[in-house]
Amino acid sequence: MKNQKFNQIINNTTKGASLILLGAGIGMSVNYLVNTPELFARTNNNEALTSKDSVSFIDQGNINFVSKVVQDVGPAVVRINASRTVATNQQNIPSFFNDPFFREFFGGQIPQPQRPNQKIQQGTGSGFIISDDGKIITNAHVVEGANQVTVNLKDGRVLEGKVLGSDSLTDLAVIQIQAENLPVVQLGNSDDLIIGEWAIAIGNPLGLDNTVTTGIISATGRSSSQIGVGDKRLDFIQTDAAINPGNSGGPLLNAKGEVIGINTAIIKNAQGLGFAIPINRAAEIGQTLIAEGKVEHPYIGISMVSLNDQTKPRLNQQSQGLNLTNEEGVLIVRVMPNSPAQKAGLKSGDIIKSIEGVEVKESSQVQRQVALRKVGGELILNLNRDSQDIDVSVQLGVLPTNPRR
């Protein structure tokens, strides 16, 4: 049933048509069913292969399962080169050269200020082909601000790329190249991941094309706030497969060679900590970018903090009138002006206990519940206000491009 709904969404959409961010780090960091509109197909028989399926560690002779995955998927992994034009500063001339005495003494040898000029910056990242007519998914930060995008295929061709759409909030972008009959990846199901299962990363780290690293899935459901990118609306897959600058946008694969995530970030100075965007979320966003060129994200417009043994003493100390003891939930710290939350009557000091009957104890749970809904939909919040439990209905708005903080 889930796969049928997934494919129905795809059909309708197509017919209508620090933590270091990698890719800017260099110079600046599924199977496609022919003659169908399903760009993000799962398997030839439209059934999702789960990580619980058995894996043969030895295929033929000396070719192990990693080698087999690389042979099958490698041709669909590309290098993305992004060129950006940036302004450079004027040359700084010491002020004493403006003194008439020095001007007379040095004459025409006084250095003259240079006019502002422009400089081309080059960045490199990775991506993978999702349709045989040349649609490629990658990270938004790989192509952000790019004046020109080129794509290097494994067969040696270098083709111009056009950004069909980009979404900074989920760090995803889709590129189109003009080509036919291209090799494509096959997508897995990131909802079925098992901690400890194999993970294989293919990409172009540090300019070294077609590099392969292996590891395991270390954790799932890492919130953006947990790993230091609170401005993103994502949960991440954690892996110990080596990920380096230039891997951004490349695929994280399971032992069957299915894409389960998009390699995105590492934690500075840490080892064995890499993060990837789950492919189910990426496929959804990718289809919207292809169809509309942008993504509208729902929001309610609040600043919030989780209530726990660490935060409650600090909140009591910093905020007059608060006396938090046994309260549990998520405290609303601020309500944004003219936001859906303000229009619904939410107030600073309200404690969110549950959303649509689902208990929440972490701010990431609130964000996740909002992200699951559509703009214009309504959420029922159960609040504790002045020791009274109340229900408030909030109609979700569109997250502003530059929300006020």
Instruction: Tell the burial category of 257 from Cβ atoms under 10 Å away from its Cβ (0-12, 13-18, 19+).
Output: buried
User: What is the CA angle 178-179-185, rounded to 5?
Assistant: 115
In 3D space, the residue among 355, 390, 391 whose CA is nearest the CA of residue 373 turns out to be 355
In 3D space, the residue among 301, 245, 236 whose CA is nearest the CA of residue 268 turns out to be 245
Q: What would the DSSP string read from start to end of 37-63?
A: S-TT---TTS-PPPTTS---SEEETTE
Tokens, residue 175: 């590129």
Question: In this structure, are residues 144 and 22 in contact, taking their beta carbons and an 8 Å threshold?
Answer: no
Catalytic residue ranges = 141, 171, 248
Phi-psi region of 380 (alpha: psi -120 to 50; beta: other; left: phi over 0): beta
DSSP 168: T
Strand ranges for 139-257 from DSSP E:
148-152, 158-167, 172-177, 186-187, 198-203, 211-223, 235-239, 251-253
Question: In this structure, are residues 136 and 161 in contact, taking their beta carbons and an 8 Å threshold?
Answer: yes
